[in-house]
Structure 1
Amino acid sequence: MRFSQRIGQTPVNKEIQLEYVDEELTNGLWNLVKMLFIDKLAKYADYGKSDFDKFSEILWHNFYKMPIDTIPEYKSSVEKYIRERFFNFYWYEIYDFLEFIIEIQNNQGEKNKFINSVNGILEREFAGYRIINEKVAPISNQLEFEEVSFALDKTKFLTALEGANIHLTNAIDLISDKKNPNYRNSVKESISAVESTCRIITGENTLGKALNKLESKGLNLNNQLKSGFDKIYAYTNDKDNGIRHAIVTAPIEPDFADAKYMLISCSSFINYLITKAEKIGIKFE
């Protein structure tokens, strides 16, 4: 904590930044783009185009969607243009740009360093987002980040849980679309990830049956916890909601809060199930 914060002259915490990016966050993110990506690109090459020239063409063609013959002649002018565009982006375009930079990086080590540094700035400046699975996801604190990240990692590297990983990835993609989020299907994908995990553990063909059979497999669940997920499953399986069924009547549409709650809760429950199962010797290979 800084001196000014200790004496109450500046606030200790800011409000969580959801649909905006303040000056300090913008500056921090640009500094990382500059130091950890742009400055690392070779500006000149003995033969052919330099890494910076190739990046500029990819940026103009795939992100700006402008004619590549409008790229300025001098590299300093190119970088100046990129900077000016960055500082004039709408808040969601800044996140689009970060995802673009992550996507085009080939060196996994450098990519991981960039992602970790960006997440550090997002946490420091109280942004309501983190980079998860190379996407900007609406996660606002470290605990949420760890739960979702751990669930993705565990299901990614345990072969039998590949289906659960696909569902979680889809849930993140659907809730993270900043222009057209699909909360209904994000909720569906989150609960489907739990269903996939439970079915692998029990061999049952529905989540309801699988939840009831977990104890017979040696997973002793707290009754209240099991009852809670029974009710969550009932909510998503309710025909009036139209989440896991065709929409017949006008349903109550899930919103951001619903989708985020389901993503984090389902990730946590998957982590819980995997830990419990591995403890009693159940293998997912």
Structure 2
Amino acid sequence: MASFSEKIGVVKPNRTLQVTSINEALRNSLWNLFLDLYEDDRSRYWKRVADYTAKCFRKVPKDELPSRDYDSRTWVKEYFYSLEWYRVYDFIEFLVHNHRNMTAESYGVHTSYHRFDTSQLISVINAILERELSGFRFIQGELAPITNPVEIAEIDDAVEASRKKGLHGAREHICTAVRLLSKKPDPDYRNAIKEAISAVESVAKQITGSDTATLDAALKQLSSKMELHGALKAGFLNLYGFTSDESGIRHAILDQPTVGFVEAKYMTVVCSAFVNYLIVKADGAGLLK
């Protein structure tokens, strides 16, 4: 929501996405979240956060860590504020991936965990990133370049549907596409597209039971077993040609393909949507367990 000063035009609001930088407001907002997380009314977690950071992220000797909890917080803070923008995002991912273990507390045979689980933590971080106009969001546990909620849901649904139906190849290809798309500071758009299209190939081949069929052949086999909309099939095969012809992504050996974030994100979302479509249709036709 715009502030009063922004509404009357005294202050010009910031409308620029932060893609290759992190401003003071965003960095401070993230740090304030860490303070709320690791210094709550019941427990202080800073020594364990510092310990994990030293061992697994910063890779420095543990015996050089401060002994007091307060000083451990200062140690983490000074490090956090010294990081380049892309390492800040690396550190956020690290904290998310290790949050549960860092905050687990054992009481005899019982183990207590933080009041925020990992999914809640991701939701709060995404809200901060959105509010402060960051160009990244968490998708499937990875910080990726910004997409709208519908696109995020399409990717998440494809990963979950593939997992439930045992289509592990497709799931891995989609997750790898997201990782390559979110690679910092140099995303790998070319290989993100290759992984996304491979997810569709994997689903089609696994459903038909043919490991050698081309995507065109696999979709023709599927058409004989279940109803596939002709326009959708033709449209996707045209997209497939974009990645497979001599001047396309897969065969561009001598010349760097002119592909960027827009193309890579589009193909990742479209391929995820088509994976969802094939899974639903195949499941309805009784072709999946």
Q: 1:77 to 1:178 in 2, by over 3 A?
A: same
Task: Give the match for residue 163 of structure 1.
Answer: 169
Given the two structures, how large is their TM-score scaled by the length of structure 2?
Answer: 0.82
Deviation at 1:192, TM superposition (A): 0.4
Q: Unmatched 5+ residue regions in structure 1?
A: 44-50
Helix, strand or coil at the partner of 1:105: helix
Partner deviation per Cα, 1:159-197 (whole Å, 9 max, x = no partner) = 1x1110011111111222103432222111100001112
Q: Unmatched 5+ residue regions in structure 2?
A: 101-112
Does residue 1:261 correspond to 2:269, yes or no? no
Partner deviation per Cα, 1:18-44 (whole Å, 9 max, x = no partner) = 11222222222222222224548944x
Q: 1:13 to 1:206 in 2, by over 3 A?
A: farther
Pick from 211, 214, 225 the counterpart of residue 206 of structure 1.
Answer: 214
Query: Partner amino acid for 2:121?
Result: F
Partner deviation per Cα, 1:109-164 (whole Å, 9 max, x = no partner) = 611111111112222223221112221111332122111112122212221x1110
Matches of residues 229-248 of structure 1 in structure 2 within 5 Å? 229-241=236-248, 243=250, 245=251, 248=253
Q: 1:3 to 1:97 in 2, by over 3 A?
A: closer
Q: 1:234 to 1:38 in 2, by over 3 A?
A: farther
Alignment check: 8 A CA contact 1:203 1:210 kept: no
Aligned residues: 273
Alignment check: 8 A CA contact 1:29 1:121 kept: yes
Alignment check: 8 A CA contact 2:181 2:264 kept: yes
Q: 1:13 to 1:197 in 2, by over 3 A?
A: farther
Aligned counterparts of 2:39 and 2:199: Cα–Cα separation in 1: 38
Matches of residues 96-245 of structure 1 in structure 2 within 5 Å? 96-106=90-100, 110-159=117-166, 161-204=167-210, 205-223=213-231, 225-241=232-248, 243=250, 245=251
Deviation at 1:9, TM superposition (A): 4.7
**In angstroms, what is the RMSD of aligned CA positions?**
2.6
Task: Give the match for residue 282 of structure 1.
Answer: 286
Aligned counterparts of 2:42 and 2:62: Cα–Cα separation in 1: 19
Q: 1:62 to 1:230 in 2, by over 3 A?
A: same
Q: 1:190 to 1:58 in 2, by over 3 A?
A: same
Alignment check: 8 A CA contact 2:129 2:136 kept: yes
Aligned counterparts of 2:142 and 2:39: Cα–Cα separation in 1: 20
Aligned counterparts of 1:140 and 1:13: Cα–Cα separation in 2: 19
Q: 1:251 to 1:282 in 2, by over 3 A?
A: farther
Aligned counterparts of 2:39 and 2:158: Cα–Cα separation in 1: 32
